[in-house]
Amino acid sequence: MKIGSLSISEGAALAPMAGVADTAFRLICKQFGAVYLVGEMVSAKGLMMNERRSAPLLVLTGAEHPAAVQLFGAVPEELEQAAAIAMKYGPDVIDINMGCPVPKVVGGGAGSAIMKTPSLAGELVRAVRRGCGDRVPVTAKIRKGFREENAVEVAKYLEDAGAAMVAVHGRTREQYYQPGADWSVIARVKQALSIPVAGNGDVTDADSFFAMKRQTGCDLVMIGRGAMGNPFVFEEIAARLKGEEPPAVPLKRRMDVMLRHMELIVRHKGEQTGMREARKHAAWYLKGIRGAAELRRQAAQLTTLDDARRLAELALQREKFV
């Protein structure tokens, strides 16, 4: 498929996730087969006021491409200026967040609050296109609606404004992440638009990947929470697309990848900050294994890479003797 003039290989993409999809996580997912990456959202206002503080969220390493940076805000002039700044960091795409449900973002009129004013969604796309000089495609990620469904209406405004792709999460803002995602809304948006549509929500393995493609006709599948502690999902999908069986993921391999992931976090953020952020990732990697509850409690106390190595060894010992 193509996002504007940008070609994307067949496979699954990493969805944007604030506080999760940092450089280390994106690199791990890329190594396991993610075909396209979207970074953490960056406040347009914050970027304008203090570029240096926001810059780490915009940096893309050479190994990550094709990749997008994501901006959020509700004022067209701020998005335009923020897009101009973001271009200095070499993104392949600039994405606009119109789906974040958290009160802090919604309270400022951004994120999924934009869906309450469909015409504003179009204005924001035009503003970002002006800011980037149409040098890269501009996309947007929306939800099913705010309270009631209006994804098709919003998506049409986005397409008319020149968006190169629309990604749809199959829940309203009021639903957050429960109950199950409504894939039918993704299908309705796909049927209504001539530009590519990405689907997002409840894809956790190859079976759900193919089911979403089949049920919605979407051009691209984005995986968010299904990849947390599970970058192997991209490997599984890539293998199945080739008609091959995916490699097994025994606990030893999972722990090795967890440690590799944490080493990347520390490399990019330092051990003190990095290990605080690594704690949640460790808990996700440990999910579902024997003694996981106690191991996750220990994960919440990690302060060094050596702590993480000891935790991985303990998990393997418990698996061996239980």
What residues contact residue 49 under an 8 Å CB cut-off, 6+ apart? none
Q: Identify the three-state secondary structure at position 185.
A: helix
b/e sequence 183-196, b meaning 16+ C-beta within 10 Å: bebbbbbbeebebb
What is the Cα–Cα distance from 130 to 223, expressed in whole angstroms? Answer: 29
Q: Which residues pair with 24 in a beta bridge?
A: none
Residues in CB range of 42: below 8 A, 6 or more apart: 54, 57, 58, 69, 70, 71, 72, 82, 86
What's the length of the chain? 322
Active site positions, annotated: 100
81 token code pair: 């200026």
Question: How big is the CA angle at 302 (ends 229 and 228), to the nearest 5 degrees?
Answer: 10
